[in-house]
């Protein structure tokens, strides 16, 4: 997402008089209103009154909420801290909102709305009645099309309270839809070391350069006759390919970037129904399709270089630099500063400390089991035999690290890792290693060819490819908290 977070300001009580007046409001409210649990109708009424432009009415509403000690209002008050900071609501109301928030939560958090959302993500609070529609109206003040995302059912485990703005409006990051590609051996403007996402389906090979995808984060395409979406969350460092039609006769779903985030991961939307989908899980989370469709089916993807992919697949095509959009496609121009730094930019709950937050892992989910493989392990161990759940797997690293040599306007010349060229396969009862010549062999010394869709031996036996992808650790563990860590404590 475009980096709104660079402009975050720590909210402080700018005017002591405001705090004093609001404190008096709370005192008088408690004298005349009285305490007691709020009904759902009362909650909804107070929520709607929180959007009133009149300052006195707004303060009185805050007073009633605090007086009722209704902690369901913690979530909307955090939203209002954000809305006040960026000017979605009129006036400077930070002081009184924060005072009410601190009294309801019994917390004093040094920081801004990001810190409050991160704290809330670790809590068990629920929002008040009418909250989803109210949040849609609040976000609609930023982009009228945002409100449509908050209309419809919500997936059971999805917490709308953690939905935040990523810094752009709907489609502010434009998708590349069915863009005609060019032969990779004839493409102009790329260097041999440029990092690409490689996809192969039914013998059709495609390359999607990261320096282009950094700006678009979404490519709707048809590869090998299969409709797919290459979804890329730059914040989580995760590129995942999904099939977008459940059957050969089904109409493909076409995706765009909503401009919204959930736990620092992009929320996609489908253009047919405006349903929001989780990029990391492939699940519909809010909107008409929540109760109608299953999660999207993943397709294998690999990170490699133009040179390596062209050598493996000289008949491949590649996205051209002429996309029809005016962007600086220099490597690193979009997110180079974020990739080289340790800081996170958007709210997240508790971070599992088994690995550093922005360390890169190869993330593999098989059935209901998931394992994260730290990329730095592959430098010493390019072949990893493992078992995920009840499935024996083998991971093969052609390269443990694909470096990007780029340019950032702030940091100038930079180098960072785009990930590793790693593929995962079922291995059956085989155990794999490398021969002295560097060929893939099983425990009997028999050679196997590493192909995009399977491992194949001279007898034609096949071991199918599994869908895994590179991700920052913090993103993967946020959505798969029960994940194992290979080589680490589980």
Q: Picking from 19-28, 255-264, 399-408, which range would have the lowest pLDDT averaged per residue?
A: 19-28
Which of these three, 275, 301, 318, is where a domain ends? 318
Bridge partners (DSSP) listed for residue 277? 268, 284
Kindly state whether residues 137 and 213 are assigned to the same domain. no
Residue 332 in domain = no
Which of these three, 318, 335, 358, is where a domain ends? 318
Mean pLDDT of all residues in the chain? 91
Question: Can you give the pLDDT at residue 323?
Answer: 97
Question: Can you give the pLDDT at residue 159?
Answer: 97
Residue 298 pLDDT class (50, 70, 90 cuts): very high
Is residue 17's pLDDT more than 80? no
Residue 23 in domain = yes
Kindly state whether residues 187 and 77 are assigned to the same domain. no
Average pLDDT over residues 190-195: 97
Average pLDDT over residues 345-353: 91
Kindly state whether residues 350 and 387 are assigned to the same domain. yes
Q: In 10 A of CB 104, how many CB atoms?
A: 20
Question: Can you give the pLDDT at residue 31?
Answer: 39
d(CA 351, CA 330): 32
Average pLDDT over residues 257-284: 97
Is residue 11's pLDDT more than 80? no
Kindly state whether residues 100 and 190 are assigned to the same domain. no
pTM comes to 0.91
Residue 26 in domain = yes
Question: Can you give the pLDDT at residue 488?
Answer: 55
Residue 336 in domain = no
Kindly state whether residues 298 and 390 are assigned to the same domain. no
Nearest to 242 by CA among 274, 289, 273, 284: 284
Please report where in the chains the tokens 């730095």 appear, as a residue: 376
Question: Can you give the pLDDT at residue 404?
Answer: 97
Contact (Cβ atoms closer than 8 angstroms) between residue 447 and residue 458: yes
Average pLDDT over residues 183-208: 97
Kindly state whether residues 384 and 469 are assigned to the same domain. yes
Q: Picking from 92-96, 115-119, 123-127, 181-185, which range would have the lowest pLDDT averaged per residue?
A: 92-96
Residue 229 in domain = yes
Kindly state whether residues 46 and 92 are assigned to the same domain. yes
Nearest to 8 by CA among 139, 165, 220: 165
Bridge partners (DSSP) listed for residue 231? 218, 240
Give the neighbor-by-neighbor strand order of the sheet with 218-223: 176-177, 218-223, 226-233, 238-243, 298-299
Kindly state whether residues 138 and 19 are assigned to the same domain. yes
Is residue 33's pLDDT more than 60? no
Residue 32 in domain = yes
Which of these three, 318, 351, 383, is where a domain ends? 318
Question: Can you give the pLDDT at residue 87?
Answer: 87
Kindly state whether residues 136 and 27 are assigned to the same domain. yes
Q: pLDDT (tens digit, 9 = 90+) per residue, 43-53?
A: 999 999 999 88
Residue 329 in domain = no
Give the residue numbers spanning the domain of 203: 176-318
Share of the chain above pLDDT 90, in %: 85
Residue 227 backbone phi and psi in degrees, to 5: -65, 130
Question: Can you give the pLDDT at residue 111?
Answer: 75
Average pLDDT over residues 135-164: 96
Kindly state whether residues 123 and 191 are assigned to the same domain. no
Count structural domains, the chain: 3
Kindly state whether residues 302 and 351 are assigned to the same domain. no
Residue 249 pLDDT class (50, 70, 90 cuts): low
Residue 152 in domain = no
Is residue 61's pLDDT more than 90? yes
* DSSP string covering 454-468: EEEETT--EEEEE-E
Kindly state whether residues 124 and 220 are assigned to the same domain. no
Q: pLDDT (tens digit, 9 = 90+) per residue, 413-454?
A: 999 999 999 999 999 999 999 999 999 999 999 999 999 999
Is residue 470's pLDDT more than 80? yes
């Amino acid at each position: 997402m475009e980096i709104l977070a660079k402009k975050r300001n720590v909210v402080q009580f700018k005017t002591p008089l405001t705090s004093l007046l609001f404190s008096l409001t709370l005192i008088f409210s408690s004298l005349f209103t009285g305490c007691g649990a709020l009904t759902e109708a009362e909650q909804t009424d107070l929520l709607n009154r929180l959007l009133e432009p009149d300052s006195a009415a707004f303060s009185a509403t805050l007073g009633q909420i605090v007086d009722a000690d209704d902690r369901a209002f913690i979530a909307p008050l955090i939203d209002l801290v954000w809305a006040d900071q960026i000017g979605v609501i009129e006036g400077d109301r930070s002081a009184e909102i924060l005072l009410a928030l601190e009294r309801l939560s019994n917390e004093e958090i040094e920081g801004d709305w990001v810190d409050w959302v991160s704290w809330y993500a670790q809590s068990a609070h629920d929002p008040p009645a009418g909250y989803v529609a109210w949040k849609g109206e609040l976000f609609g003040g930023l982009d009228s099309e945002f409100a449509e995302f908050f209309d419809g059912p919500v997936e059971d485990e999805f917490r709308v309270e953690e939905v935040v703005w990523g810094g752009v409006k709907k489609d502010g990051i434009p998708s590349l839809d069915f863009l005609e590609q060019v032969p990779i051996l004839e493409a102009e403007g790329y260097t041999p070391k440029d990092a690409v996402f490689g996809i192969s389906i039914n013998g059709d090979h495609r390359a999607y350069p990261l320096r282009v995808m950094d700006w678009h984060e979404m490519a709707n395409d048809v590869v090998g006759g299969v409709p797919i979406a290459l979804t890329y969350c730059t914040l989580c460092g995760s590129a995942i390919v999904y099939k977008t039609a459940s059957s050969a006769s089904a109409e493909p779903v076409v995706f765009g970037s909503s401009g919204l985030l959930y736990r620092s991961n992009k929320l996609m939307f489908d253009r047919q129904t405006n349903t929001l989908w989780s990029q990391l899980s492939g699940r519909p989370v809010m909107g008409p399709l929540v109760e109608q469709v299953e999660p999207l089916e993943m397709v294998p993807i690999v990170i490699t270089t133009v040179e390596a992919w062209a050598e493996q697949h000289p008949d491949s095509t590649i996205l051209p630099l002429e996309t029809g959009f005016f962007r600086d496609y220099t490597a690193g121009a979009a997110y180079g500063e974020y990739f080289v730094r340790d800081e996170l930019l958007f709210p997240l709950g508790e971070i599992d400390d088994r690995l550093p937050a922005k360390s890169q892992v190869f993330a593999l989910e098989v059935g209901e089991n998931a394992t994260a493989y730290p990329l730095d392990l592959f430098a010493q161990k390019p072949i990893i035999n493992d078992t995920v759940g009840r499935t024996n797997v083998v991971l093969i690293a052609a390269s443990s690290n694909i470096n990007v040599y780029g340019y950032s306007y702030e940091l100038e010349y930079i180098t960072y890792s785009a990930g590793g060229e790693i593929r995962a396969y079922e291995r059956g009862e085989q155990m794999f290693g490398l021969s002295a010549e560097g060929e893939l062999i099983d425990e009997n010394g028999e050679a196997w060819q590493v192909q995009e869709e399977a491992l194949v031996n001279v007898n034609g036996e096949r071991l199918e490819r599994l869908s895994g992808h590179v991700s920052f650790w913090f993103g993967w563990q946020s959505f798969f908290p029960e994940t194992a860590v290979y080589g680490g404590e589980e």
